[in-house]
Amino acid sequence: MSEGANRVNVLDLAPAEAEQRLRDFASARGVGAYRGSQVLRHLWAAPAPGFQVMSDLPLAFRAELERAFAMPRLELADEQRSSDGTRKFLFRLHDGQTIETVAIPDGDRVTLCISSQAGCALQCSFCATGLMGFYRNLLPSEIAGQVRELALLPEPVRPTNIVFMGMGEPMMNWKAVDVVLTILNDPKGCGIGARHITVSTVGVLPGIEALAKRPEQFRLAISVHAPTDELRRMLMPVNIKFPLEQVIDAAATFSRRVTFEYVMLGGVNDQPAHVTELARLAKRCGAFVNLIPLHPGGAGSYTPTSPDGIRRFAAGLAKHGVEVAVRKSRGTDIAAACGQLRVERLRRRPPRPADQHGEVDVA
């Protein structure tokens, strides 16, 4: 067991709970409860790399914190920069697992694409993460830690928007994601507005229901990618467990507007018939459709739909009265699509069967 393995990791706790514990601890040590709130500030709002360097706290108290609590770092193992400003970070976790985070600047905005699992069990046929198989769920500290680490860089990266579109399926790790949403949104956490935080899912129904129950305006994106069960089953094996119609029904009852993600696979899901079928689904739940150019270097041997083809597809949807946008492809020169950096470094291992890890635990 590693040193201090029984210390409480304060980065795994929602800010209110972390604050309570830290204040109680401070009171018990006779330094005043407010010292606990000072520590909390150094977790997310004004991050410090460790207790020792919290220079606004008494030295002896810092040493006591160190003995009772942990606030582990993620090790930055690699970084790549795209000519378009997109930056991709590879973090190594304590057990050697590696995860990716992508920062995408766009005008005044910086969108951070974060990972929720090491690997992924779902094996969508075009996705690089699916190819590597599932390793494990990330802890809240490892998911929100990606945001924290970027704020700790010598030139801090401060995101305005967060999307759960890195490695993994967030709804298959809901227990952790639930806490992370609080950390990201809480003014005493990262303080990012709920409407600037998007959870992207293949359509794990219990997860969608759990997100719907949250009172904050977190956004939901659904990876649709095919407008019929028949085609979707081929692209996304998870469609067997959570069929399209049920996913659309869940989207229709979601209290906020939902986004459909639709990756454009040449000759596969980009035909005129698909326009009509997709428009029907989008209208049924009032969804906004995001067409995504296929990122080269994913899995499978797909060819991207041509830019013209994508424009035609978008125009077709618009004609049906569906709101649609074409996502700008970013970071193509640094393999910035889901899972690609890690895959490059691991030199493709055989995937594990998805069904070993298919349990959804949202309690």
Catalytic residue IDs: 100, 338
Burial of 80 (0-12, 13-18, 19+ CB in 10 A): middle
Q: What's the alpha-carbon Rg for the chain, to the nearest Å? A: 21
Q: Which parts of 66-85 interact with ligand SAH (CB under 6 A)?
A: none
Distance, in Å, from the CA atom of 67 to the CA atom of 6, rounded to the nearest integer, reads 10
Closer of 150 and 292 to ligand SAH (Cβ): 292
User: Residue 223, interface with ligand SAH (CB under 6 A)?
Assistant: yes
Asked whether the beta carbons of 292 and 261 are under 8 A apart, the reply is: yes
Q: Which residue has the tokens 């204040």?
A: 23
Q: Which residue is nearest to ligand SAH (CB)?
A: 298
Q: Which of residues 15-74 bind ligand SAH (CB under 6 A)?
A: none
Q: Is 263 in the site for ligand SAH (CB under 6 A)?
A: yes
- 185, 137 Cβ separation under 8 angstroms: no
CA distance 325 to 194: 21
The minimum distance between CB 324 and ligand SAH, in angstroms, equals 15
Judged by CB under 6 A, the number of residues near ligand SAH is: 18
Q: Using the rule CB under 6 A, is 159 a contact of ligand SAH?
A: no
Among 127, 147, 231, 289, binds ligand SAH (CB under 6 A): 127
Minimum distance from CB of 149 to ligand SAH (Å)? 20
Across the strands, what pairs with 92? 75, 98
Is the separation of the CB atoms in 312 and 275 below 8 Å? no
β-pair partners for 201: 222
Q: Which of 54, 118, 162, 338 binds ligand SAH (CB under 6 A)?
A: 338
Sole binder of ligand SAH in the list 101, 201, 239, 259 (CB under 6 A): 201
CB of 124 to ligand SAH, least distance (A): 6
Q: Helix, strand or coil for residue 73?
A: coil
294 near ligand SAH, judged by CB under 6 A: yes
Pick the binder of ligand SAH from 142, 261, 330, 342 (CB under 6 A): 261
Give the Cα separation of 309 and 314 in Å (integer). Answer: 9
Please give the single-letter amino acid code of residue 319.
Answer: K
- Which residues here bind ligand SAH, judged by CB under 6 A? 124, 126-127, 164-165, 169, 200-202, 223, 261, 263, 292, 294-295, 298, 337-338
